[in-house]
A and B are shown apart, each in its own frame.
Chain A
Amino acid sequence: DVKVTQSSRYLVKRTGEKVFLECVQDMDHENMFWYRQDPGLGLRLIYFSYDVKMKEKGDIPEGYSVSREKKERFSLILESASTNQTSMYLCATRRTGSMQPQHFGDGTRLSIL
């Protein structure tokens, strides 16, 4: 069975802190994604990666960076957290192929105070 594990379910940080969100998958999928989900706005793509050490900006990359040093791990970094980054963050993976579904983790609810 597919397993996407996000390191924290809930996280509370302070403005200006550097925040790391980790995502690990056990399916050997090439593609990994980071989204944020806000009420009424749906899922917005922050960054994605189609291979180790490769990254592409999504629709809202400002204020974020990512790291993919190993195939199974994709990290999202908030360089200097701000209150408008309070959100639900979802990691997803997908095998290469246009018909392949995305498999999601259970999300990290991040609050920036």
Chain B
Amino acid sequence: TQLLEQSPQFLSIQEGENLTVYCNSSSVFSSLQWYRQEPGEGPVLLVTVVTGGEVKKLKRLTFQFGDARKDSSLHITAAQPGDTGLYLCAGRDSNYQLIWGAGTKLIIKP
């Protein structure tokens, strides 16, 4: 069974701080997606990364796909209360199935 491990499971920081969350696996993925889920809503896609070493930026969020396409990170600069949510990574395996991580619950305190 393929696993995607996300760390940390929970993170609570003050507004303005920087943070990084990680998504790791022993398996290779053809692509990896990051979603954010706010309370009472379904997950919403933030970004898809495809190429090993790829870096994508979405305003204050920076996503990186590992060179070997087994891991990914999400870095948030100057976190805002609006960044609060559950961050989920999902990798597409060789069978085109989407493998989900358990998520990182992020709370940004004003």
Give residues in A with beta carbon < 8 Å to B: 4, 9, 40-45, 90, 92, 98-99, 101-107
Give residues in B with beta carbon < 8 Å to A: 9, 30-31, 33, 40-45, 48, 50, 88, 90, 92, 96-98, 100-103
- Residue among B9, B97, B98, B101 with max Cβ neighbours from chain A (10 Å): B98
Asked if A98 meets B88 with Cβ closer than 8 Å, knowing A42-B102, A104-B43, the reply is no
Asked if A106 meets B43 with Cβ closer than 8 Å, knowing A42-B88, A98-B31, A98-B96, the reply is no
User: In chain B, what residue has the closest Cβ to A33?
Assistant: B98
Asked if A104 meets B42 with Cβ closer than 8 Å, knowing A41-B102, A42-B100, A43-B100, the reply is yes
B42 pairs with A98, CB closer than 8 A: no
User: Inside 8 A of A107's CB, which chain B residues have their CB?
Assistant: 40-42
9 A–B contacts from the bound complex (CB under 8 Å): A42-B103, A43-B90, A43-B100, A45-B98, A90-B43, A98-B96, A99-B50, A101-B45, A104-B41
Asked if A90 meets B102 with Cβ closer than 8 Å, knowing A43-B88, A98-B30, A101-B48, the reply is no
User: Inside 8 A of A40's CB, which chain B residues have their CB?
Assistant: 9, 102
A106 pairs with B31, CB closer than 8 A: no
User: Inside 8 A of B31's CB, which chain A residues have their CB?
Assistant: 98-99
User: In chain B, what residue has the closest Cβ to A40?
Assistant: B102
